[in-house]
Amino acid sequence: MDFFEAQARAKKRTSRLVVLFSLAVLGTIAAGYFGAIFLTGQLTQKSARTRDRYGYVQPARAPALWQPQLLAVVSLGTLAVISLASLYKWSEFSAGGSAVAESVGGRRVDPHTSDLAERRLINVVEEMALAAGMPMPAVFVLDDEPAINAFAAGLTTADAVVAVTRGTLEKLTRDELQGVIGHEFSHILNGDMRLNLRLTSLIFGILVIGLAGRGILWSLRGARVSSSRDNKNSGGILVAIGAVGLGLLIIGYVGYFFGRLIQAAVSRQREFLADASAVQYTRNPTGLGGALKKIGGLALGSSLQTSKSAAIGHFFFAQSFRSNFVGLWATHPPLDERIRAIEPTFDGTFIEPPQVVNIARESLVSASLAPAPTRSAIKPEDVLASVGTLTPALLAEAHQLHVSLPPRLIAAAHAPAEAPILLYGLLLDSADDHVQRRQLALIARRAGGEALHVLESLDSSLRDLGPAHKLPLLQLTLPALKTLRPSALAPFFETLDALVHADGRVSPFEFALQKLLVRHLTVSRAPARASMVQFHSFKAVADEIGTVLSTLAHASDRDSNEAYAAGAAQLPLLASHLGPLALTTDLVALDAALDKLVTASGPIKQRLLQAAAHVVISDGDVHIEEYELLRAIAATLDVPLPPWPA
């Protein structure tokens, strides 16, 4: 599926969700209003009774069904409670995907783990991230869950996590695991994660009314009312409080019932798409189908033991809790329907999984990792088609890229203490010994002598590193760098900047490395603050678009004017607004332009990337530095672009 189309559909689903949620809120308000009428009628009934002239008690008049003031009070009170509760839940998720994984008992996997199953999981996730050109997600395992399940969570690709249960690790082959992870990557690339978190926050806002009522009733469980006259008043108060608690419980769960129906309906629609995408990514329906069949053949299936899974049930690969109300709350389609959608000949027979798959005997060759095909010259349209997607060819290339990286460099990328030093090594000037000595002295002064010892151990591997391996290696360092404290991050950025400017100039690769790091690490620490769309007009960002195209034209190996014209021709609506080619490359101006363009709408980013691709690839001959600069620009715009073919 087209990346930009998928993002647009995610936004449409968000708008539809707001409408459905509004209807659920209106239902909650209506239940609260009629409940308030009933309660006030009961409380005032006794005092409103009168006696006729013969001494007989006359029944109180029934309360009016239309009470505008009461409706206003109930509406404002309900909206205030739901809004505050939803904002509270959203603030919990503002830390990103890690907060979600930890809330259900997830444990972050140590990249240096000696557990073969966990190492296999990390390899699969890393290869998919490399193939998609997106930041490497953090990986979590739910150790106490023997069922087969997984989920992806986060607000952006920069803070995304992938979590699997212990049962998924132990009972699935690599093919099956790859199918499950491909399913979760589909949710990441299709923009489903942010929608999932919004949905959870909104549902909690409705549920909190019922939770308040349950809390009130629970607080009265030990209360006892004496029969003495002195305690009659207190007994009446307790009854009134109990009535209020019961009313809130009923009202809250009425809204919650409909909220969960919305949650389930929105989730079910996306699961078939994610399954189809996973099969498209791997070109191996038996992998995903085998995982689903093993869920059907396992006694526990995909049901999690923690009660907290119900709140985020729509995040998971398969149904994480037993659905009530005849399946109306089911967040996933039935297993047999999902299997038949990818294997039409499925006969209904499930697979009883082994206790533990023998990973030591499992070969990567048997895991459907075909050799990467030889690709012809890249065309601009190929760039746009590859954005935000995965293909078997990209996965095979990513696998070859991953296995070709020196093990010592991968180990350094995984270690929080060594990952910054590895990036220092990528910036060392190999062509000018004088500049390199200055850089090494700078590292010793800022990072200490120990950093030089680590660099020395990395030196031989760094010398053999090809240009196409550098930014992919950067992707692998991101999970380790995200664990650095803010106090360590600032001096790290300062040292990088000093190394970049040690020779008095900034190369396209140096700009790309810095921009990718700052963007991903900044967003991952505050994903809820990720830029919102501010510009829908091409004319409003015409100058910034011109800056991007000019910078790429100067970096291109072609004639700069010709390259710039090739890109500008893709934006006919801006023909009278785009200025001429800038005289020189100004990476400072490019930095400012990208910071503004990241807030542009999807169609603007799509056309900009199309024009940028024509600047550097219109003749099919492109150098690695040009392409990596293009990748950095795309990544800054939150558009994942696959790496240069290894």
pLDDT value of residue 198: 81
Encoded tokens for 34? 């009629």
Locate the domains of the chain by residue range.
3-49+60-94+195-275, 99-191+281-342, 506-646
CA gap 75, 53 in Å, rounded: 42
CATH superfamily entry for domain 99-191+281-342:
Metalloproteases ("zincins"), catalytic domain (3.30.2010.10)
Of the listed ranges 39-53, 101-115, 364-378, 569-583, the one predicted with least confidence: 364-378
Encoded tokens for 567? 């890109």
pLDDT value of residue 276: 86
CA gap 549, 553 in Å, rounded: 6
- pLDDT above 50 for 367: no
The DSSP letter of residue 360 is G
393 vs 452, higher pLDDT: 452
Encoded tokens for 248? 């809130």
The mean pLDDT value of the chain amounts to: 83
Of the listed ranges 8-17, 202-211, 359-368, 537-546, the one predicted with least confidence: 359-368
The DSSP letter of residue 397 is H
pLDDT value of residue 238: 67
For 539-591, what is the HEC assignment?
HHHHHHHHHHHHHHHHHCCCCHHHHHHHHHCCCHHHCCCCCCCCCCCCHHHHH
459 vs 230, higher pLDDT: 459
pLDDT value of residue 38: 76
pLDDT value of residue 364: 45
Strand bridging mode 57-58 / 150-153: unpaired
- pLDDT above 60 for 226: no
From the candidates 118, 184, 626, 628, give the one annotated as an active-site residue.
Answer: 184
CA gap 576, 568 in Å, rounded: 11
pLDDT value of residue 326: 47
Token look-up 């809250």 returns 252
Encoded tokens for 590? 């490019």
Three-state DSSP at 410 gives: helix
pLDDT value of residue 57: 54
Note the pLDDT tens digit of each residue in 331-351: 888 899 999 988 989 999 999
pLDDT value of residue 177: 95
The length of the chain, given as a count of residues: 646
The DSSP letter of residue 156 is S
CA gap 399, 368 in Å, rounded: 11
- pLDDT above 70 for 515: yes
pLDDT value of residue 49: 54
Asked if 631 contacts 468 with a C-beta cutoff of 8 angstroms, the reply is no
Q: How confident is the model at residue 305 (pLDDT cuts 50, 70, 90)?
A: confident
Strand bridging mode 150-153 / 138-142: unpaired
- pLDDT above 70 for 645: no
For residue 639, the Cα-to-chain-centroid distance in whole angstroms is: 13
> Which of the residue ranges 309-313, 374-378, 505-509 has the most confident prediction, judged by mean pLDDT?
505-509
pLDDT value of residue 17: 65
Query: Which runs of E-coded beta strand occur in 144-292?
Result: 150-153, 161-165
| Crossing angle between the packed helical segments 624-636 and 587-597, to the nearest 10 degrees | 40
Q: How confident is the model at residue 140 (pLDDT cuts 50, 70, 90)?
A: very high
Q: How confident is the model at residue 15 (pLDDT cuts 50, 70, 90)?
A: low
48 vs 184, higher pLDDT: 184
CA gap 326, 250 in Å, rounded: 21
Cα 603 to Cα 39, 106, 467, distances in angstroms: 53, 37, 32
- 456 catalytically annotated: no
Dihedral sign, CA of 289, 294, 297, 298?
negative
The total of other beta-carbon atoms located within 10 Å of residue 241's CB is: 15
pLDDT value of residue 587: 84
Q: CB under 8 Å to 247, separation ≥6 — which residues?
A: 32, 35, 36, 39, 213
Of the listed ranges 120-124, 240-244, 263-267, 446-450, the one predicted with least confidence: 240-244
- Interval 243-260 mean pLDDT: 73
High-pLDDT (> 70) share of the chain, %: 84
- Interval 208-213 mean pLDDT: 76
Of the listed ranges 328-342, 351-365, 430-444, 526-540, the one predicted with least confidence: 351-365
Q: What residue spans of 427-507 are helical by DSSP H?
A: 433-447, 449-463, 470-482, 486-500
CA gap 458, 477 in Å, rounded: 15
